[in-house]
Amino acid sequence: MNNPAGRVVKRLAASFLLLAGLLLDGGTVWPDEYGYTLPQKVLEGARAKYGPDASERLLAWQRLLLESRDKSEREKLTLVNDFFNKIPFLSDAEHWGREDFWATPVEMLASHGGDCEDFSIAKYVTLTQLGVPMDKLKITYVRARIQGQANQAHMVLTYYPTPDAMPLVLDNLVPEIRSADLRPDLLPVYSFNGAGLWLARERGQGKPVAGGAQNIGFWRELKARMGKEFE
């Protein structure tokens, strides 16, 4: 049967597992030795490739990190969610001319666009950089009802104030942070962070499953780009 929606779900599910492999393999975006300060070469490279507004967006990200260190976790969630949700949503095809491209937060901000994967990862990276414990955050692949169409592949960031709590959902499609029980349009499938990969069980955290895709070419490509940003 010809099922375009099903193919999209399977493609994003595969992407999800690859992204999980990157975090589980210890991939980083912002090396510790730089603290909260982006190297000048990153700012100059963004300006040269995308124009002066690109470096200004990266400096705004840097200011967000510097000014939010002492905020409460809930304040950090709101500030980071609002910051990235100002970036336009663009599919990989229209933005990068490729069916699937995983942008680093630097690439997303400099190019001024990203898809749901990019939003979720950028928020995750920024919040962990701000000291939100990794075990409270999970990048979650869901099947969503979008514009009346069910079963659409989508990705969000979820925050668990306590291990057994109903998570809060940070989503680029719905700007307000809402509890997951107030998002009946989302059906969780998988979630992951730097500590593990989970298979969803209704709306709970689910059970851990084996994950990782360290040997796949897409991984090496993304990790190489991330590393070169800070050389």
Give 113-168 pLDDT, tens digit per residue.
999 989 998 998 899 889 999 889 998 889 899 877 888 889 999 999 999 999 99
Give 21 or 168, the one with higher predicted confidence.
168
C-beta separation of 92 from 111 below 8 A: no
Q: What does the pLDDT look like over 214-225, one tens digit per residue? A: 333 454 565 566
pLDDT of residue 141: 87
Q: Are 197 and 210 in contact (CB under 8 A)?
A: yes
- Over the chain, what is the mean pLDDT? 79
Let me know: does 178 contact 160? Beta carbons within 8 Å.
no
The pLDDT value recorded for residue 105 is 87
Pairing of strands 196-201, 178-179: unpaired
Structural contact between residues 192 and 139, judged by C-beta atoms closer than 8 angstroms: yes
Q: CA-CA distance, 60 to 73, in Å (whole number)?
A: 20
**What is the arithmetic mean of pLDDT over 20-42?**
63
Residues 29, 44: Cα–Cα separation, whole Å: 18
Angle value at C-alpha 41, between 39 and 46, nearest 5 degrees:
105
What confidence score (pLDDT) does residue 190 get? Answer: 81
**Residue 124 one-letter amino acid:** Y
Give the tens place of pLDDT for each residue, 61-84: 999 999 999 999 999 999 999 999
Count other Cβ atoms within 10 Å, centred on residue 140.
28
Residue 210's pLDDT band (cuts 50, 70, 90): very low
- DSSP-derived secondary structure for 44-106: HHHHHHH-HHHHHHHHHHHHHHHHSTTS-HHHHHHHHHHHHTTSPB--HHHHHSSS-----HH
Among 43-47, 96-100, 146-150, the range with the most confident prediction by mean pLDDT is 43-47
Of 23 and 132, more confident: 132
pLDDT, average across residues 84-103: 91
pLDDT at position 193, please? 75
- Give the pLDDT confidence score for residue 215 in this predicted structure: 31
Task: Give the C-alpha separation, 120 to 115, whole Å.
Answer: 9
Q: What domains are there in the chain, each with its CATH number? A: 4-228 (3.10.620.30)
